[in-house]
Amino acid sequence: MQELWEPVEPEDPDFAALLLTSHLKVVGVPLAAEHLTEDLPPRELARWLYRDAPFVLLAHRLTADPTFCYANLAGQRCFGYSWAEFSGLPSRYSAAAPDRAERDRLFEQVNAHGYIDDYRGLRIAKSGAQFWIERATVWNLVDGAGRLHGQAAAFTPPDPPPSPAPTDSP
């Protein structure tokens, strides 16, 4: 398992396993369909989460100013950032300045309860376009030893997306 200060690669099977196993452990339901998690080898499952998952999947590290360490392609399209731009971006920038206090309350709830599965919040894309995320699940990324590595969020992308797809690849 990568340490908090090491960069995550987009299709890292160990990080994909952390996303999947922590969601199942903390939230109590699988993040991806069982046939995928059982049938696909770890590298292919990581590739599916990054490239083909029909939901936005984001993760950030718990640092003094939490920074994104993962955003699948659906997340990159939704927010308009490339992988290089998303990685290391303070996650507070996913909300407009007036909405950051509400976002902070969200993460306080997640810290207290392990997850929430009905979050709704206003977010902002790189372009400045604002959009609502609905019925998001936000959970603590906890490994098999119980260590907290950060937090992740999954939600259905808005339709239509608020910004164009990123142009560069990882």
Give pLDDT, residue 1.
43
| Average of per-residue pLDDT values in the chain | 87
Distance CA 24, CA 19 (A): 9
Task: Indicate the domain borders of the chain.
Answer: 13-155
Give pLDDT, residue 162.
64
Give pLDDT, residue 26.
95
Q: Cite the DSSP H helix spans in the chain.
A: 13-27, 34-39, 42-47, 73-79, 83-86, 100-113
Q: Which tokens belong to 136?
A: 């998001």
Residue 5 pLDDT level (bands cut at 50, 70, 90): very low
| Tokens 């993760």, residue located | 59
How do residues 118-170 score in pLDDT, each as one tens digit? Answer: 888 889 999 999 999 999 999 999 999 999 999 999 999 987 656 544 555 55
CB 119 within 8 A of CB 99: no
CATH of domain 13-155: 3.30.450.20
CB 156 within 8 A of CB 135: yes
